[in-house]
Structure 1
Amino acid sequence: MTTASTTQHWLPYGSTGTGTRLFCFPHAGASAAVYAGWRGTGGDDLTILPVQLPGRAARGRETPHHDPDALADDVIGGLGPELTGDYALFGHSVGALVAYLVARRIVERGGPPPRHLFVSGRPAPQLPNTRRELRALPTDDLVQELRALGGLPDVLLKERSLLEMFLPLLRADLTVNETYRHVPGPPLPFPLTVLGGIGDPRADEAELAAWQELSADSALFTYPGGHFYLDTRVQEVVEVVRTRLSG
């Protein structure tokens, strides 16, 4: 049973606001805090809700998920009645996969679907993974890959003990991303917007565009900045969200 206290675990910044509620799922190894700066950027018509997944921040004692289906089920069970009414989903990188799976499951189970699905920085789920898998790499190799993406905070590079504490969560998220096997289904019954970084080594433009096969109403937007283009494009992305929701 979902209660206010359990929902608070998932939505650490609260869920107040009158506009469309946008549930935001983070990239691998990240917490809800990556979207904290988004709050208040959507005006009166958009409420940003960063989602805290198990295994991070205040939920650090919980075991992070390794299975994509179990994670999607946990999100739906944890957010419960929040996933009703005027809401949409946003996810970046592995968060895009989580948002997609949550949306797909809600539809399959006859629940109230989101108004819109926004996915960012990940190849379409129906495409095979053609890149080097990261989840089981030796630590030094994994660090090298993450540095190339720009996704490893400097403090973790300087403090090996902090890095070792961080890696199990990161490997769990990478496992979610890399072990997903697509099950074809009918087109999504709501609009889909795809966003990505130009020159992203983990998701090129063709792989991003393939998401558009999943919805009859779709659009693609790309920005300079590689895999972590979101770090410097928050207001632009939020404006795309607002525009697409109003269309």
Structure 2
Amino acid sequence: MLTAADRRPWIVTCRRGDGLRLICFPYAGGGPSLFRGWPLEVSQQVEICAVQLPGREARMKEPPIGDLRRLVAELADVIEPSLDRPFALFGHSVGGLVAFEFARELRRRYGVEPVHLFVSGCPAPELTDDDRLSELPDGEFLERMRRFNGTPREILEHTEMMELVLPTLRADFSLRDTYRHRTESPLGCAISAFGGMADRAVAVDKLTPWSAHTTGGFQLWLFQGDHFFVRTAQAAVVEAVMLLLQPHMSPRL
């Protein structure tokens, strides 16, 4: 059993700012390090935070969570101190789905919503996928990870390292595999869906249905790259995020 000293924070501040707080959710197997390259390119009015889920980076000792509704409920239990200013949510791949359900959980529990929701490389929540990656045998699962091109090759080829990260990867894919969409009223915040022009897994037709989940306006943005354009086209992604958040930043005197 983990002691209180073993547990690490759910929210990691990557860069402090004096205005809007942007809370970021990584893709499967990822952690706050994905967003540590962002602060150098963003306005000082935006505070960049990343969600640190159990089972990775500083929380490697903790068992990962494979049920999405339990995950967002546990995060909502501890997030209230971070809701002391306007905030936006950004999530890539399965992180986009987590960000969406987290926004709805915050609305139910606290009556608040983000000023903007960014869903990146993430199919609309009502689109089902019969390709249940989390249930594949280890060999097939690792081969699919190689095809996704999201896990560094040096990790995939390191047996001991894969033994450590495999449970977390499976749990993260289980978030989507076991998810069942429930109809609720659309969010009032704007939603922007980001996609990769060469992403064969999440094409435009899987992104445009996000428009039904907002009454606050919808935009679709496409970037150069495959499913992991959030890394390879990072500068362009960050520039788009900052542009869309500009209306929510306080004007400088």
Query: 1:79–1:33: structure 2 CA closer, same or farther, 3 Å change rule?
Result: same
Paired with 1:18 and 1:8, the residues of 2 have a C-alpha distance of 24
Q: Secondary structure at the match of 1:63?
A: coil
Structure 1 residue 15 displacement after superposition: 6.4
Contact persistence 1:195–1:222 (CA under 8 A): yes
Contact persistence 1:122–1:202 (CA under 8 A): no
Unaligned runs of 5+ in 2: 248-253
Per-residue CA deviation, residues 118-153 of structure 1 (Å, 9 max, x unaligned), is 1101100011214x2210111121121111111121
Contact persistence 2:223–2:237 (CA under 8 A): no
Paired with 1:14 and 1:236, the residues of 2 have a C-alpha distance of 19
Aligned to 1:100: 100
1:23 aligns with 2:27: no
Aligned to 1:123: 123
Per-residue CA deviation, residues 9-63 of structure 1 (Å, 9 max, x unaligned), is 1233466311311000000011111111112321223221122111111111111
Contact persistence 1:85–1:112 (CA under 8 A): no
Show the 5 A alignment for 1:205-244: 205-216=204-215, 217-244=217-244
Aligned to 1:156: 155
The percent of aligned pairs where both chains have the same amino acid is 36
Following TM superposition, the consecutive aligned residue runs of length 4 or more in structure 1 with deviations greater than 6 angstroms are: 5-8
AA at the equivalent of 2:114: P
Query: 1:68–1:75: structure 2 CA closer, same or farther, 3 Å change rule?
Result: same
TM-score, normalised to structure 1's length? 0.92
Structure 1 residue 204 displacement after superposition: 1.1
1:180 aligns with 2:179: yes
Query: 1:169–1:8: structure 2 CA closer, same or farther, 3 Å change rule?
Result: closer
Contact persistence 1:40–1:48 (CA under 8 A): no
Query: 1:233–1:106: structure 2 CA closer, same or farther, 3 Å change rule?
Result: same
Paired with 1:27 and 1:214, the residues of 2 have a C-alpha distance of 21
Aligned to 2:71: 71
Per-residue CA deviation, residues 77-98 of structure 1 (Å, 9 max, x unaligned), is 1222202421100000111011
Query: 1:61–1:223: structure 2 CA closer, same or farther, 3 Å change rule?
Result: same
Aligned to 1:246: 246
Aligned to 2:85: 85
AA at the equivalent of 1:224: Q
Contact persistence 1:198–1:225 (CA under 8 A): yes
Paired with 1:177 and 1:94, the residues of 2 have a C-alpha distance of 7
Contact persistence 1:84–1:112 (CA under 8 A): no
Query: 1:225–1:161: structure 2 CA closer, same or farther, 3 Å change rule?
Result: same
Paired with 1:180 and 1:243, the residues of 2 have a C-alpha distance of 32
Contact persistence 1:39–1:49 (CA under 8 A): no
Paired with 2:48 and 2:14, the residues of 1 have a C-alpha distance of 10
Q: Secondary structure at the match of 1:9?
A: coil
Aligned to 2:144: 145
Query: 1:157–1:128: structure 2 CA closer, same or farther, 3 Å change rule?
Result: closer
Paired with 2:151 and 2:235, the residues of 1 have a C-alpha distance of 23
Q: Secondary structure at the match of 1:33?
A: helix
Paired with 1:53 and 1:157, the residues of 2 have a C-alpha distance of 21
Q: Secondary structure at the match of 1:145?
A: helix
Q: Alignment RMSD, CA only?
A: 1.9
Paired with 2:40 and 2:75, the residues of 1 have a C-alpha distance of 24
Query: 1:185–1:6: structure 2 CA closer, same or farther, 3 Å change rule?
Result: farther
How many pairs were matched up? 242
Paired with 1:157 and 1:51, the residues of 2 have a C-alpha distance of 24
Q: Secondary structure at the match of 1:206?
A: helix
